[in-house]
Amino acid sequence: MLDGDAVGKVIVEIMKERADIVGNIIAVDGKAIRSTSEPGNPHSALQILTAYLTESCVVLGQNAIHDKTNEIPVFQAMLSLLNITGKTITADAMHCQKETCRKIIASGGNYVFGLKENQKTLCEDVRLFIQSVENAESLQSHTTIEKGHGRIEKRICHKVTNIDWLFGREEWAGLKAVFAVRRIVTKKGKVTDETCYYITSADASAEELLRIVREHWKIESMHWILDVVFSEDECGLLSENGHKTLNILRKLALLLHKQHIAMLPRKVSIKGNLLSCLMNDSLLASLLAGL
């Protein structure tokens, strides 16, 4: 029987060698394949942690997460296998861990991590400082406004470089700044307003930090496409190896479709391109030539 992890490593190497690899942001995120869970126990589903070079849409590495562990140690182990020198690692609040930060800095990289309840005191201190009117003059800010798909999205980044006031800052390796990103979305007359908080070791402007946070969305988008376009969560295979192998093959197919679509004179959806390849052998051959 084929080893899903071994197949995954081979295909990841193909992706890294064949793709036009550019960019310096590596987004890390986990995804559960829901069809693999035991009845009544959704946490038993096979989870796969992926390191994704956002600008090139290339998977740099991935590992399965079993029920006896979680994303945190798997992520920390993955860091020792990746060349992250000069790269910025992004991840959700789960990975805002002192040891993870230490490993990234020791390997020559930088980090941008979200803050939530797992670092409750740190998150609250950052929130109170940024929201305080008295500190408004010490904030570096940048705003963007995007219109499309029937909605208007305004993003505001507030960055604080002087963090002498932050208790326990010396425990976080390389920590240079904290910042907040506020998202105000107007759609069909309804307005949502959300603010998220972050820590970073990167010596970057508020504008660049806003771009980095936006880049992390790409791995979440990739996972959404695996579900909605490739129907990954509906796959009924019983073999864990089979799921691992199909997961990386889907990611490779997605990369090839994105590369092909980028060269087209008009915008085509991933789903539309998949259907076109099913109907046109020449188009399929052209897409596979990207391997």
- Taking each helix axis from N to C end, the angle separating 281-288 and 270-279, rounded to the nearest 10 degrees, works out to 120
Please provide the distance, in angstroms rounded to a whole number, between the alpha carbons at the two ends of the chain.
Answer: 25
Summarize the confidence of residues 158-187 as an average pLDDT: 95
Coil vs helix vs strand at 289: coil
Q: How many CB atoms lie within 10 A of CB 93?
A: 17
**CA angle, 198 as apex, 126 and 91 as ends, to 5°?**
150
104 pLDDT higher than 80: yes
pLDDT for residue 19: 46
Summarize the confidence of residues 210-234 as an average pLDDT: 94
Report d(CA 269, CA 44) in Å as an integer. 33
Coil vs helix vs strand at 189: coil
| Mean pLDDT (the chain, rounded) | 89
Q: 66, 31, 84, 35: which is closest to 222 by C-alpha?
A: 31
pLDDT for residue 176: 96
Q: 241: which residues sit within 8 A by CB, 6+ positions away? A: 1, 2, 3, 4
pLDDT for residue 43: 74
pLDDT for residue 68: 64
Between residues 38 and 184, the one the model is more confident about: 184
pLDDT for residue 108: 96
Between residues 6 and 110, the one the model is more confident about: 110
- Greatest alpha-carbon pair distance for the chain in Å reads 65
247 pLDDT higher than 50: yes
Q: Which of 74-83, 203-212, 268-277 has the highest mean pLDDT?
A: 203-212
Q: 281: which residues sit within 8 A by CB, 6+ positions away? A: none
The string of pLDDT tens digits covering residues 105-157 is: 999 999 999 999 889 999 999 999 999 999 999 999 999 999 987 899 999 99
- The domains of the chain are located at 1-82+217-291
Coil vs helix vs strand at 18: helix
pLDDT band at 12 (very low <50, low <70, confident <90, very high): low
pLDDT band at 179 (very low <50, low <70, confident <90, very high): very high
Query: pTM of the entire structure?
Result: 0.88
| Contact assessment for residue 252 and residue 15, using Cβ atoms and an 8 Å cutoff | yes
Percent of the chain with pLDDT over 90: 66
Q: Cα-flanking dihedrals φ and ψ of residue 51, to 5°?
A: -105, 125
41 pLDDT higher than 90: no
| Contact assessment for residue 218 and residue 250, using Cβ atoms and an 8 Å cutoff | no
Between residues 46 and 159, the one the model is more confident about: 159
> What string of DSSP letters covers 229-276?
TT-GGG-----HHHHHHHHHHHHHHHHHHHHHHHTSSS---HHHHHHH
Q: Which residues pair with 72 in a beta bridge?
A: none
Report d(CA 23, CA 259) in Å as an integer. 15
Percent of the chain with pLDDT over 70: 92
14 pLDDT higher than 70: no
